[in-house]
Amino acid sequence: MKLHTPLCPDCGEPAKGTLERLTGRADFNIEPSPGVDVDYGGWTEVWWDEQRTVLEHEDKPEGPENRPLVCCPNGHTWPTVINW
């Protein structure tokens, strides 16, 4: 694939990857019940089938007016056209 804007407009670093949305479940450390405090158990199951690339405008389909977001190692994000 080829990025139309491969370098970060803020810092000049190259894109590290696309910004993605994932859904998952963060497990508790014990089974909850009334009066029992729970905490996170340190494991998250990610539902990979629901992974999708974040677009500039989340409520519109991908296209020339709605580009995917990429990010650099410094955490900056920017939209770019990706040619496959």
Residue whose C-alpha is closest to residue 67's, from 75, 76, 58? 58
Burial of 54 per CB tally in 10 Å (0-12, 13-18, 19+): middle
Say whether both 15 and 28 belong to one domain. Answer: no
Say whether both 45 and 62 belong to one domain. Answer: no
pTM for this entry = 0.80
For residue 40, give Cα distances in angstroms to 19, 27, 32, 46: 25, 6, 11, 15
The model's pLDDT over 36-73, given as tens digits with 9 standing for 90+, comes to 999 999 999 999 999 999 999 988 988 888 999 999 99
Say whether both 25 and 46 belong to one domain. Answer: yes
What average pLDDT score do residues 21-46 get?
A: 96
Assess whether pLDDT exceeds 90 at residue 18: yes
Residue whose C-alpha is closest to residue 78's, from 2, 3, 8? 8
Total structural domains within the chain: 2
SS3 4: coil
User: Can you give the residue range of the structural domain that contains 35?
Assistant: 21-53
Say whether both 7 and 28 belong to one domain. Answer: no
